[in-house]
Amino acid sequence: MTELKKDLKIALVHDFLTQYGGAERVLEVFCEMFPKAPIYTLLYDKVAMRGKFKDREIHTSFLQKFPKFLRKKKKWLLPLMPTAPETFNLRDFDLIISSCGVWSKAIITRLDVKHICYMHSPMRFAWEEGEEYLLEQKRSAKTNFFVRLLLNYLRVWDRVSADRPDYLIANSRFTRERIKKYYNRESVVIYPPVNMEHETRNIEQQNPLVAPSLAKPDKSQTIRQPADKIQNSKFFLVVSRLSPYKKIDAAVEAFNKLELPLIVIGEGSQEKYLRSIAGKNVKILGWQPEEKIREYYAGARAFIFAGVDDFGMTMVEALARGVPVLALKKGGALEIVAEGKTGEFFVSNKPEIIAECVKRFMEKEKEYDKNLIIESAKKFSKERFVREFEEYMAKILNDKF
């Protein structure tokens, strides 16, 4: 397999490099596996990526030429996005690996080029979340009429473009089912990678120093308390993109009711709104560096995951630190969390239901086995991902090369 890779000219395609999240963590591992492969992406924001992929050869689409204020508001470029991946010149490559949430599966390749698509999710806002998307935007009926026409066009485009990859890999069984439903295509499941060695090493070696104060944080320095005070100031934790479908607002409202400490880490379109509804016991910290996020994991009492996600890498990151996960009983969480052993489920993301789950967790919190929780995360390791992906590549490429 190693020799085979050396002989292939490989390109990586990714929807956007404008925010760092789970999909970008997968892309990082692809970059490690294929160090010479250039990256093709619709938009690249060097500042927002904070140095990630800075040493890679990156090619952007014509959307990059639009003014910065339009690139920041990607929804205004939505009618042009289906065309953007089709304009990439990939004729010199033997193998294309796309890391796709929506757009990158639509690339056009030569007939003799293999295209493997690692799919994070079919297009959420055009399929099952279409009506919810319309309600959230609070537009006029006339505007919604035209938005519905656009969504209908995107559904047609999405279905057609899903036939372009030669092979589809799903990031979970939940995603595989959605691929079958919306695209009528089969796919294999390879769970995304979490760096288990890094996480477990920090559990063994690091004294957790962070027990965040609920006073307004000083962004210029890390908030620290002595390790022996952590047990008296443990908090619940959310690490997420602050997007509407993540339902962070429901978690915030639940903890407003509970009056228990909640720390929310992440950035996104809802950050300002979440700050406006957060009670004194809830702190929205925005973006934090990775080393600081690891410290927050180490000090957390439990991790809250309120949305329906196709996988949910942050849940695995919490488990890898021995932190129980309280999650909505849908989506990828069902493949990550074992109820009563590594976490608890709530059946609805209404704030009062989340609050009841938190109370239920606290009643039996002492019964949780930290070592068992850590062990449960190991099936999602980076080493496992690399091995399974290389085995899959070898299987499909041996017929051609």
Q: Is residue 151 part of a domain?
A: no
| Whether 326 and 209 share a structural domain | yes
Q: Which domain, by its residues, includes 367?
A: 196-380
User: What gap in Å lies between CA 263 and CA 217, rounded to an integer?
Assistant: 11
Give the 3-state secondary structure of residue 42: strand
| Whether 167 and 312 share a structural domain | no
User: Given this model, what pLDDT does residue 287 score?
Assistant: 93
CATH code, domain carrying 278: 3.40.50.2000
User: Given this model, what pLDDT does residue 125 score?
Assistant: 75
Q: Is residue 230 part of a domain?
A: yes
Which residue type does 74 have?
A: K
Q: Is residue 52 part of a domain?
A: yes
Beta pairing partners, 286: 265
User: Given this model, what pLDDT does residue 216 score?
Assistant: 42
Neighbours of 284 (CB within 10 A): 24
User: Given this model, what pLDDT does residue 6 score?
Assistant: 60
Q: Is residue 130 part of a domain?
A: no
User: Given this model, what pLDDT does residue 11 score?
Assistant: 98
Residues of the chain falling short of pLDDT 70: 1-6, 129-144, 197-233, 399-401
| Whether 205 and 350 share a structural domain | yes
Q: Is residue 389 part of a domain?
A: yes
| Whether 6 and 104 share a structural domain | yes
User: Given this model, what pLDDT does residue 5 score?
Assistant: 56
Q: Is residue 131 part of a domain?
A: no
Cα 101 to chain centroid distance, Å, stands at 10
Q: Is residue 154 part of a domain?
A: no
User: Given this model, what pLDDT does residue 210 score?
Assistant: 42
pTM value is 0.86
| Whether 239 and 184 share a structural domain | no
> How many domains does one find in the chain?
2
Residues in the chain: 401
User: Given this model, what pLDDT does residue 75 score?
Assistant: 82
Q: Is residue 137 part of a domain?
A: no
| 210 neighbors 235 (Cβ within 8 angstroms) | no
Give the 3-state secondary structure of residue 257: helix
Give the 3-state secondary structure of residue 357: helix
| Whether 233 and 247 share a structural domain | yes
DSSP for residue 217: P
| Whether 91 and 117 share a structural domain | yes
User: Given this model, what pLDDT does residue 129 score?
Assistant: 61
CATH code, domain carrying 41: 3.40.50
| Whether 346 and 389 share a structural domain | no
Which among 184, 163, 183, 186 has a CA at the least distance from the CA of 173?
A: 186
